[in-house]
């Protein structure tokens, strides 16, 4: 049997939430490495990016929004399709749910499998999963490349800057305030999950984010990044992790080593530098498996199912 508890099943400790203002219109809801939510409070409406895992968890986000504004929450943005990001959506009563067409396509192709997979991985985040309405969370409006919303006079851009964490990744950009909500393209003090990633694309996508020169950034996990230096550090450490994983895996695969050997070698190589990050032990088996796939025969990520998750974990961790 596996010596490590599967995925995040041993992670049962409650996290301290921080709700802080980053710029005139942008707020960050962060929770010590749990999935973050970004909030834009415009002139006439509120936009929420990444909804939390369940309506019950979303209720805490809404409570904090209501402490600072009574404007209607008109828009929910899905930065990507993962269940911990989208299944709280119903709680907000938004008029529109916005996502890239690529994200819509991923929901259609693998949303049900991903839902079952993530509920198995994150029991604490999904502990009141019965509050999630039946079915999947579907966007009502999709876009490709760029979409602009106007919340009164506030310009909000939804941008696809490249593949990385998934093929559908969207960032929310406030050009007037140079504030960015990155979704899981950027993490800080938290391990990037790369089970659905494009390792060869992700570093360039981070450079595309850097080219915007954000002054503040809400990452997918970890504390909000304030000031150009902190934003740059967040981009750098995320890029370093992605590159280090892929370099190690690619070298092992090129040498003809099997997945388990490559996993053990890559884990050992990266643990000294990144092992203190949140969900490191959770992510590494998924990340190395995807990197090995990409380095060998699968340009696009294979679908994770609850059954595949467990089989992979047993094969690599026992």
Handedness of CA 158, 161, 165, 169 (dihedral sign): positive
Spatial separation of the C-alpha atoms in residues 78 and 81, rounded to whole Å: 7
Q: Locate the domains of the chain by residue range.
A: 18-239
Longest dimension (CA), the chain: 59
Per-residue pLDDT of the chain (318 residues; tens, 9 = 90+): 345 665 555 555 777 999 999 999 999 999 988 999 999 999 999 999 999 999 999 999 999 999 999 999 999 999 999 999 999 999 999 999 999 999 999 999 999 999 999 998 888 888 888 889 999 999 999 999 999 999 999 999 999 999 999 999 999 999 999 999 999 999 999 999 999 999 999 999 999 999 999 999 999 999 999 999 999 999 999 999 999 999 999 999 999 999 999 999 999 999 999 999 999 999 999 999 999 999 999 999 999 999 999 999 999 987
> Domain 18-239 falls in which CATH fold?
Metallo-beta-lactamase; Chain A (3.60.15)
Spatial separation of the C-alpha atoms in residues 180 and 174, rounded to whole Å: 6
Residue-level pLDDT at 1? 35
Output helix, strand, coil percentages for the chain, rounded to the nearest 5: 40, 20, 40
**Model's pTM, two decimal places?**
0.95
């Amino acid at each position: 049997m596996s010596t490590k508890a599967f995925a995040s099943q041993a992670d049962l400790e409650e996290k301290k939430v921080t709700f802080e203002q980053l710029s005139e219109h942008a707020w960050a809801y962060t929770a010590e490495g749990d999935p973050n939510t970004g909030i834009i409070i415009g002139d006439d409406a509120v936009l929420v990016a990444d909804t939390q895992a369940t309506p019950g968890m979303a209720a805490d986000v809404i409570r904090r929004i209501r402490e600072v504004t009574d404007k209607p929450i008109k828009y929910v943005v899905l930065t990507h399709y993962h269940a911990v990001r989208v299944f709280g959506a119903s709680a907000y009563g938004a008029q529109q749910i916005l996502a890239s067409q690529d994200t819509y396509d991923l929901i259609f192709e693998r949303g049900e499998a991903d839902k079952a997979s993530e509920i198995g991985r994150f029991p604490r985040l999904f502990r009141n999963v019965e509050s999630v309405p039946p079915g999947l969370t579907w966007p009502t409006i999709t876009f490709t490349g760029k979409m602009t919303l106007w919340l009164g006079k506030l310009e909000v851009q939804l941008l696809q800057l490249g593949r990385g964490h998934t093929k559908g990744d969207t960032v929310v950009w406030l050009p007037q305030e140079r504030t960015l909500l990155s979704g899981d393209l950027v993490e800080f003090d938290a391990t990037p999950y790369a089970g659905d990633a494009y390792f060869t694309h992700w570093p360039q996508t981070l450079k595309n984010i850097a080219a915007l020169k954000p002054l503040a950034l809400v990452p997918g996990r970890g504390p909000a990044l304030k000031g150009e230096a902190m934003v740059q550090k967040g981009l750098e450490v995320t890029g370093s992790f992605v590159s280090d994983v892929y370099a190690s895996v690619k070298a092992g695969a090129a040498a003809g080593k099997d997945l388990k050997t490559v996993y053990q070698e890559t884990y050992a190589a990266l643990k000294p530098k990144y092992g203190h990050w949140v969900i490191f032990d959770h992510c590494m088996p998924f990340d190395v498996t995807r990197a090995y796939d990409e380095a060998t025969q699968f340009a696009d990520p294979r679908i994770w199912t609850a059954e595949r998750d467990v089989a992979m974990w047993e094969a690599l961790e026992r």
